[in-house]
C-alpha cells in the first residue's frame, strides 16, 4: 500500500454507476458510513441533477470523484475544469494529449486534483491494435503517466496490472487510482478486461481502488462494502 496519509476508509471509492440521482441517494443512504468516497460519472451527469447530487453527498461529509473524462480542445477542457474547481469535488478525470492535460492542471485551483486517464481497464491488446497503438500496454501506460506528471496532473487512473511498474519508474507523489477491482480473482463479468483483486492493487502501491458492481449488485451492498473495508484496513495495518 502507498505511504500517503490517506485515511483507510477513503482508499475505497465506490463507483456510483446507477441510472438516476434518486437511486444514487437511496444507495448512499443504504451504504451509510461503509463508504466515504463516491465516484459519479457520465451516466449520472446525463440523467439530470448531477450537481445537486454532488452537493448532497458533500453535505453528508462524503468525498466525491467526478469521473467526467474531459476530452476536447485544451481551451474547452481548461474552462470546464475551471467551472468545476469550486464545486467541492476531490478528483476529476481528463483524457487526451499533454496540452489537454496541461490546460486542466492550470485551471484546477487549490483543492481539485486532476487525474489523467492512461489506458481504460476495458481495453486489452486487441483493442489497442484497433486504435492504432503498436506499443505494449505497459509502455503506453508509463508514457501517458509520465506525460500527465509533466503536464501538472496530480495522478493517473491505471489498472492494477501496471501500478507496480508506475511505482518503480515514477515519482512516489503521483496519485494512482485503480479501477477494475474484483474482490476475488476473476475476469468473468461485464466490460472490464484488465482486473485485479483488492489485495493485489494495494500490494502494488495503489492509493485508491474504485469498486462498482461487486458492491452495487451484491445482495447486501453495505455488507460487501464493509468486507472490502476490512481487507483494506488489514493491509494498512500490515
What pLDDT, in 10s, does the model give residues 179-197? 978 765 444 445 445 468 9
| pLDDT confidence of residue 143 | 87
Active site residue 193: no
Q: Is residue 182 part of a domain?
A: yes
Q: Is residue 5 part of a domain?
A: no
**CA neighbor of 39 nearest in space, from 12, 66, 20, 6:** 66
Q: In this structure, what CATH number is given to the domain that contains residue 130?
A: 3.20.20.70
Q: Is residue 3 part of a domain?
A: no
Q: Is residue 197 part of a domain?
A: yes
Q: Is residue 2 part of a domain?
A: no
Report the percentage of the chain scoring pLDDT > 90.
72
Q: Is residue 4 part of a domain?
A: no
**CA neighbor of 202 nearest in space, from 167, 151, 154:** 167
208-211 and 181-182: which strand pairing? unpaired
Q: Is residue 6 part of a domain?
A: no
d(CA 57, CA 38) in angstroms, rounded, equals: 8
- For the four alpha carbons of 136, 139, 117 and 63, in that order, the dihedral sign comes to positive
Considering its fold, how many domains does the chain have in total?
1
Supply the pTM of this predicted model. 0.89
**CA neighbor of 201 nearest in space, from 225, 174, 181:** 181
182: containing domain: 11-236
The mean pLDDT value for 52-58 works out to: 98
User: How does residue 171 score in pLDDT terms, banded at 50, 70 and 90?
Assistant: confident
The single residue of 4, 39, 63, 69 carrying the catalytic annotation is 69
Taking each helix axis from N to C terminus, what angle separates 221-236 and 21-31, rounded to the nearest 10 degrees?
A: 60
Grid coordinates of 126: 486487441
> Would you give the end-to-end CA distance of the chain in angstroms?
9
d(CA 115, CA 176) in angstroms, rounded, equals: 8
Cβ within 8 Å of residue 220, ≥6 positions away: none
Amino acid at each position: 500500500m502507498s505511504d500517503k496519509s490517506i485515511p483507510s476508509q477513503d482508499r475505497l471509492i465506490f463507483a456510483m454507476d446507477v441510472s438516476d440521482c434518486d437511486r444514487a441517494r437511496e444507495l448512499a443512504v443504504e451504504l451509510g458510513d461503509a463508504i466515504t468516497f463516491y465516484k459519479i460519472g457520465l451516466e449520472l451527469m446525463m440523467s439530470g441533477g448531477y450537481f445537486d447530487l454532488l452537493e448532497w453527498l458533500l453535505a453528508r461529509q462524503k468525498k466525491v470523484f467526478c469521473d467526467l473524462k474531459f476530452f476536447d480542445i485544451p481551451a474547452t477542457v481548461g474552462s470546464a475544469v475551471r467551472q468545476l474547481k469550486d464545486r467541492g469535488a476531490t478528483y476529476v478525470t481528463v483524457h487526451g494529449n499533454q496540452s489537454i492535460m496541461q490546460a486542466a492542471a492550470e485551471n484546477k485551483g487549490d483543492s481539485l486534483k486532476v487525474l489523467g486517464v492512461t489506458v481504460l481497464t476495458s481495453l486489452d491488446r486487441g483493442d489497442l491494435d484497433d486504435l492504432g497503438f503498436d506499443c505494449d500496454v505497459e509502455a503506453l501506460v508509463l508514457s501517458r503517466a509520465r506525460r500527465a506528471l509533466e503536464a501538472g496532473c496530480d495522478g493517473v487512473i491505471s489498472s492494477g496490472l501496471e501500478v507496480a511498474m508506475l511505482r518503480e519508474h515514477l515519482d512516489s507523489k503521483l496519485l494512482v487510482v485503480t479501477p477494475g477491482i474484483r474482490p476475488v480473482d476473476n475476469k468473468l463479468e461485464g466490460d472490464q478486461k484488465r482486473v485485479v483483486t483488492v489485495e493485489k492493487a494495494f500490494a502494488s502501491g495503489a492509493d485508491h481502488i474504485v469498486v462498482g458492481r461487486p458492491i452495487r449488485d451484491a445482495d447486501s451492498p453495505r455488507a460487501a462494502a464493509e468486507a472490502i473495508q476490512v481487507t483494506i484496513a488489514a493491509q494498512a495495518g500490515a
